[in-house]
């Protein structure tokens, strides 16, 4: 139990909901529950007694579906004399956003109900093995009438731009990783042994270059000049130097001789296969360069926007890059929508003791983890935490202390919660000192 005096079992959020419905008959509190899908949505309208006042129906994702929903809600309000309208849905990927925005403008405030809470609520109702659209919608409605969920505050202006530029940046980073892996795949077939990845393998073989492939300019220049070992073994060091200089790349006689000697050690691949892959390789290299240019431009645009927000103060903290801060700003949105850090952390959906990477519970024997909260906020927060722990002794010591008695995953989630609290204080006070605990707080 918190040291602060509580006025409600569920804290400030529960008290705010109690004030909202105080004195209103339960049959005049209307709950509009929606189960969001990609191409259609399921709707149930019921009152706070749990009585269904409009049977479930489906709406499409077009204007006709929205109009159908609005008519059904308006007719039910007239028929029941409802005084309070509660509208709830799960934040399912980006599929809920368009409908939620239109409802928010109506105005019809939208509550986002945590997906994990919906699953657990089904389990509590003894429906562990049942998965049906109407059951999900009813579970959402049950949580809605109890005041669960967080208000939907759609980002606008700078925060909307930050959000979508960062989402595109994330997709481009994934694309860059895929292209890098594909280029390595080409090289494994064209020039076996050129790229050696992993400490264990490097202990067995001496690689051509001491640094990794993506950190070594000479190796990247080599695959542009002459990646085919069939051609390399027929070249002299002078020929290779001239080929490099023709592209304005640096190359000396010692390095050239070492590259040719290494090529002669290779078990040469089939010439036809090497020729095919050598034809494909330049296209992927050019595409990778284009993606990297786009990522760099997106990061510049993000920082330009970030400079117009109060989140800029976080860029002065050791351990957070400009891109990490921009990701956090885009995922969190306007700080005016929150009154304290716990609201931000709750939106992330981070749950101690759970691994959000798939079937890793009980060493892979558990069921799939249900994604909870905002995946973009969760990712931005955990990415920021990874570097903050390295540079901020307060968080590093706190995490290490927790790891003594708790699993590593639980310790990291708890540290993320602590980090969000301190970051929020930095944002509120506009101070960018080294992260410290509140005076008198215990580690």
pLDDT surpasses 60 at 368: no
What pLDDT, on a 0 to 100 scale, did the predictor assign at position 4?
59
Q: Tens digits of per-residue pLDDT, 149-175?
A: 888 888 899 999 999 999 999 999 999
Bridge partner residues of 111 (DSSP): 88, 151
Mean pLDDT over residues 390-400, rounded? 92
Count CB neighbours of 351 within 10 A. Answer: 18
pLDDT surpasses 90 at 63: yes
Place 374 in a pLDDT band, splitting at 50, 70 and 90.
Answer: confident
Q: What residues contact residue 40 under an 8 Å CB cut-off, 6+ apart?
A: 58, 59, 60, 61, 65
Place 16 in a pLDDT band, splitting at 50, 70 and 90.
Answer: confident
What pLDDT, on a 0 to 100 scale, did the predictor assign at position 297?
97
d(CA 435, CA 378): 20
pLDDT surpasses 90 at 241: yes
Q: What residues contact residue 273 under an 8 Å CB cut-off, 6+ apart?
A: 189
Please choose, from the candidates 192, 196, 186, the residue with its C-alpha nearest in 3D space to the C-alpha of residue 283.
186
Place 355 in a pLDDT band, splitting at 50, 70 and 90.
Answer: very low
Domain spanning 21-151, CATH architecture = 2-Layer Sandwich (3.30)
Mean pLDDT over residues 110-136, rounded? 72
SS3 for 442?
Answer: coil
What pLDDT, on a 0 to 100 scale, did the predictor assign at position 256?
95
pLDDT surpasses 60 at 369: no
Which structure tokens are listed for 76? Answer: 């039910």
What pLDDT, on a 0 to 100 scale, did the predictor assign at position 435?
63
pLDDT surpasses 60 at 12: yes
Mean pLDDT over residues 413-439, rounded? 81
- Are 420 and 381 in contact by the 8 Å Cβ rule? The answer is yes
pLDDT surpasses 80 at 264: yes
What pLDDT, on a 0 to 100 scale, did the predictor assign at position 125?
65
pLDDT surpasses 50 at 299: yes
Q: Of residues 265 and 4, which shows the higher confidence score?
A: 265
What pLDDT, on a 0 to 100 scale, did the predictor assign at position 424?
93
First-to-last C-alpha distance (Å) of the chain: 17
Place 362 in a pLDDT band, splitting at 50, 70 and 90.
Answer: very low
Mean pLDDT of the chain: 86
pLDDT surpasses 80 at 340: yes
Every domain of the chain and the residues it spans: 21-151, 174-294, 309-429
Provide the angle, in degrees to the nearest 10, between the axes of the packed helices 375-391 and 341-348.
120
d(CA 268, CA 140): 62
pLDDT surpasses 50 at 443: no
Mean pLDDT over residues 410-428, rounded? 91
What pLDDT, on a 0 to 100 scale, did the predictor assign at position 346?
81
Place 1 in a pLDDT band, splitting at 50, 70 and 90.
Answer: very low
pLDDT surpasses 80 at 57: yes
Q: Tens digits of per-residue pLDDT, 204-217?
A: 878 888 788 999 99
What pLDDT, on a 0 to 100 scale, did the predictor assign at position 370?
46
% of the chain surpassing 70 pLDDT = 88
What pLDDT, on a 0 to 100 scale, did the predictor assign at position 433?
65
What pLDDT, on a 0 to 100 scale, did the predictor assign at position 132?
63
What pLDDT, on a 0 to 100 scale, did the predictor assign at position 20?
85
pLDDT surpasses 90 at 19: no
pTM for this prediction: 0.81
Lowest average pLDDT, out of 72-81, 337-346, 359-368, goes to 359-368
% of the chain surpassing 90 pLDDT = 60
pLDDT surpasses 60 at 131: no
Please choose, from the candidates 119, 116, 142, the residue with its C-alpha nearest in 3D space to the C-alpha of residue 129.
119
Mean pLDDT over residues 119-131, rounded? 63
Task: List own/partner pairs for 261-266 with CB under 8 A and 24 or more apart.
Answer: 262/193, 262/194, 262/208, 263/191, 263/229, 263/232, 263/233, 264/233, 265/193, 266/191, 266/192, 266/193, 266/229
What pLDDT, on a 0 to 100 scale, did the predictor assign at position 148?
86
Please choose, from the candidates 336, 311, 333, the residue with its C-alpha nearest in 3D space to the C-alpha of residue 324.
311
pLDDT surpasses 50 at 276: yes
Highest mean pLDDT among 49-58, 171-180, 337-346, 389-398: 171-180
């Amino acid at each position: 139990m918190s040291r602060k005096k509580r006025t409600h079992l569920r804290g400030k959020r529960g008290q705010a909901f109690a004030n909202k419905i105080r004195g209103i008959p339960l049959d005049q509190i209307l709950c509009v529950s929606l189960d969001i899908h990609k191409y259609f949505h399921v709707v149930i309208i019921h009152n706070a007694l749990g009585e269904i006042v409009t049977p479930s129906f489906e709406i499409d994702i077009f204007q006709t579906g929205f109009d159908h929903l609005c008519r059904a809600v308006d007719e039910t309000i007239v028929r029941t004399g409802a005084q309070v309208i509660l509208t709830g849905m799960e934040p399912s990927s980006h599929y809920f956003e368009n409908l939620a925005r239109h409802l928010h403008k109506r105005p019809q405030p939208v509550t986002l109900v945590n997906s994990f809470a919906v699953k657990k609520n089904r389990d509590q109702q003894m429906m562990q093995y049942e998965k049906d659209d109407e059951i999900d919608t009813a579970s959402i409605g049950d949580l809605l009438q109890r005041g669960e969920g967080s208000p939907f505050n759609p980002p606008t202006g700078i925060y909307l731009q930050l959000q979508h530029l960062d989402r595109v940046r994330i997709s481009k980073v994934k694309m860059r990783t895929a292209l890098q892996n594909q280029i390595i795949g080409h090289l494994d077939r064209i020039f076996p042994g050129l790229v050696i990845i992993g400490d264990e393998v490097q202990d067995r073989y001496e690689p051509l270059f001491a640094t990794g492939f993506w950190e070594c300019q000479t190796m990247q220049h080599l695959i542009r000049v002459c990646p085919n070992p069939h051609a390399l073994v027929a070249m002299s060091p002078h020929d290779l130097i001239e080929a490099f200089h023709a592209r304005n790349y640096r190359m000396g006689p010692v390095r050239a001789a070492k590259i040719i000697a290494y090529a002669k050690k290779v078990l040469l691949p089939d010439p036809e296969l090497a020729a095919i892959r050598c034809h494909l390789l330049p296209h992927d290299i050019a595409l990778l360069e284009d993606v990297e240019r786009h990522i760099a431009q997106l990061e510049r645009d993000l920082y330009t926007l970030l400079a117009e927000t109060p989140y800029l103060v976080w860029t002065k903290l050791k351990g957070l890059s400009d891109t990490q801060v921009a990701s956090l700003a885009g995922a969190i949105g306007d700080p005016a929508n929150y009154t304290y850090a716990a609201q931000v952390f709750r939106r992330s959906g981070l749950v101690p003791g759970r691994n959000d990477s798939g079937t890793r519970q009980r060493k892979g024997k558990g069921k799939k983890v249900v994604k909870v909260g905002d995946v973009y906020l969760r990712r931005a927060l955990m990415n920021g935490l990874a570097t903050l722990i390295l540079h901020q002794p307060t968080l590093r010591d706190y995490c290490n202390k927790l790891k003594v008695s708790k699993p590593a995953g639980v310790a990291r989630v708890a540290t993320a919660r602590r980090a969000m609290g301190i970051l929020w204080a930095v944002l509120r006070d506009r101070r960018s000192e080294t992260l410290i605990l509140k005076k008198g707080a215990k580690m």
